[in-house]
Amino acid sequence: MNTQTIYSRKISEKEAQNDFIFILKSRLSRFPPLKNDFKLINGGLTRVVKIESYPCICRGPDKSHEHYFIRWDGLKVGDNVKIVKNEEGYGLLIN
C-alpha cells in the first residue's frame, strides 16, 4: 500500500479529551480540501467528516498558525489510529 494513502498517529490526551484526531499540516494533501465533507468508515460505522481548523499561538503571538483536525468521539489516550484512503472514502482503524 502506498504510504501517501495512509495517515497514522498516536492519540494524545488533548485529542482524547476533545474528541478529535490532529492532522499535521504536512499531511493535509492526503485528504480532501479543508472543510470538504468525506466519508470516514470505522467497521460498520460511517460518518461524514471534514478537516477543520482552529487558530493557535502555542509558539507565541508572533507565530500564529492553524491546527487541523477531524472530529471523532470515543478515542482514548494512546490509541493508534490509521486513516487509509480506499474506494468508499477513508477507513479508520483504531488499535
Go through the domains of the chain in sequence order and give each one's CATH number: 3-94 (2.40.330)
Residue 74 has pLDDT above 60, yes or no: yes
CA distances from 45 to 1, 3, 35, 39, 88 (A): 23, 24, 21, 10, 13
Range scoring the smallest mean pLDDT among 15-19, 45-49, 59-63, 78-82: 59-63
- pLDDT tens per residue, range 58-70: 889 999 999 999 9
* Cell of residue 91, nine digits: 477507513
Which are the contacts of 30, defined by CB distance < 8 A and separation ≥ 6? 4, 5, 6, 7, 83, 85
Average pLDDT over the chain reads 93
- Give the confidence band of 93 by pLDDT, cuts at 50, 70, 90: very high
Give pLDDT, residue 16: 98
Residue 19 has pLDDT above 60, yes or no: yes
Query: What mean pLDDT comes out for the span 12-39?
Result: 95
Match 477513508 to its residue by C-alpha cell.
90
CA distances from 24 to 28, 88, 89 (A): 7, 23, 19
